[in-house]
Amino acid sequence: MELDILQANALDALQLLIRTPSVNPSIDPEHGSGEAEIARVACEWLSSRGVRGWTEDAGPDDGERYESGGHRPPLQRVNAVAGIGEGKGRTLVLCAHLDTVATAGMTIPPFEPRVEAGRVYGRGAYDMKGSAAAIMASMVTLAQESLPGRVLAALVADEEYASLGAQDFIRRHRADACVLTEPSEGRLVLAHKGFVWIEITTRGRAAHGSRWDLGVSAIASMGRIISALDEFDRTELRRRTHPLLGPASGHASMISGGSGLSTYAEKCVLQVERRTLPGESTAAVLDEVTQVVERAGCSASVPGAGGNAEIRILLDRPPLVCDRDAQIALAVRESATAVTGRAPEEIGVGYWMDAALFAAAGIPTVNYGPAGAGAHEAVEWVDLDSVTSCAQVLIETARRFLGVRC
By rule CB under 5 A, what string of x and - marks binding of each residue 179-218 to Zn ion? ---x------------------------------------
**Nearest to Zn ion of 132, 300 (CB atom):** 132
Report how far residue 400's alpha carbon sits from residue 317's, in angstroms, rounded to the nearest whole number. Answer: 31
Report how far residue 355's alpha carbon sits from residue 326's, in angstroms, rounded to the nearest whole number. Answer: 15
**Is residue 380 involved in binding Zn ion (CB under 5 A)?**
no
Span of 45-53, 127-135, 145-153, 259-267 interacting with Zn ion by CB under 5 A: 127-135
**Shortest spacing between CB 69 and Zn ion, in angstroms:** 24
Span of 5-13, 124-132, 149-157, 376-384 interacting with Zn ion by CB under 5 A: 124-132
**Shortest spacing between CB 305 and Zn ion, in angstroms:** 39
**Nearest to Zn ion of 182, 233 (CB atom):** 182
Nearest to 31 by CA among 129, 105, 115: 105
Q: How many residues bind Zn ion (CB under 5 A)?
A: 3
**Nearest to Zn ion of 56, 99 (CB atom):** 99
Report how far residue 371's alpha carbon sits from residue 384's, in angstroms, rounded to the nearest whole number. Answer: 8
**Is residue 331 involved in binding Zn ion (CB under 5 A)?**
no
**Shortest spacing between CB 274 and Zn ion, in angstroms:** 22
Beta carbons within 10 angstroms of residue 68's beta carbon: 10
Per DSSP bridges, beta strands 346-349 and 188-192 are parallel
**Shortest spacing between CB 110 and Zn ion, in angstroms:** 16
**Shortest spacing between CB 207 and Zn ion, in angstroms:** 49
**Is residue 127 involved in binding Zn ion (CB under 5 A)?**
yes
Taking the mean position of all CA atoms in its chain, how far away is CA 358? 11
| Proportion of the chain in helix, strand, coil states, percent, rounded to 5 | 35, 25, 40
**Shortest spacing between CB 232 and Zn ion, in angstroms:** 31
**Nearest to Zn ion of 22, 217 (CB atom):** 22
**Shortest spacing between CB 158 and Zn ion, in angstroms:** 11
**Nearest to Zn ion of 168, 182 (CB atom):** 182
Q: Calculate the CA dihedral of residues 340, 342, 345, 346 and round it to 10 degrees.
A: 90
Amino acid identity, residue 41? V
Give the 3-state DSSP-derived string for 57-117, with helices as H, strands as E and coil as C: ECCCCCCCCCCCCCCCCCCCCEEEEEEEECCCCCEEEEEEECCECCCCCCCCCCCCCEEEC
Cβ-proximal residue to Zn ion, closest one: 127
**Is residue 128 involved in binding Zn ion (CB under 5 A)?**
yes
**Shortest spacing between CB 373 and Zn ion, in angstroms:** 13
| Number of Cα atoms under 13 Å in the Cβ half of residue 142 | 36
Print burial letters for 237-262: b (CB count within 10 Å at least 16), e (below 16).
Answer: beeeebebbeebbbebeeeebbeeee
Report how far residue 270's alpha carbon sits from residue 203's, in angstroms, rounded to the nearest whole number. Answer: 12
Report how far residue 54's alpha carbon sits from residue 3's, in angstroms, rounded to the nearest whole number. Answer: 27
**Nearest to Zn ion of 182, 266 (CB atom):** 182
Span of 5-13, 17-25, 120-128, 260-268 interacting with Zn ion by CB under 5 A: 120-128
By rule CB under 5 A, what string of x and - marks binding of each residue 224-263 to Zn ion? ----------------------------------------
**Shortest spacing between CB 128 and Zn ion, in angstroms:** 4
**Nearest to Zn ion of 61, 182 (CB atom):** 182
**Shortest spacing between CB 141 and Zn ion, in angstroms:** 24
By rule CB under 5 A, what string of x and - marks binding of each residue 166-185 to Zn ion? ----------------x---
Report how far residue 253's alpha carbon sits from residue 360's, in angstroms, rounded to the nearest whole number. Answer: 27
**Is residue 82 involved in binding Zn ion (CB under 5 A)?**
no
Residues within the interface to Zn ion (CB under 5 A)? 127-128, 182
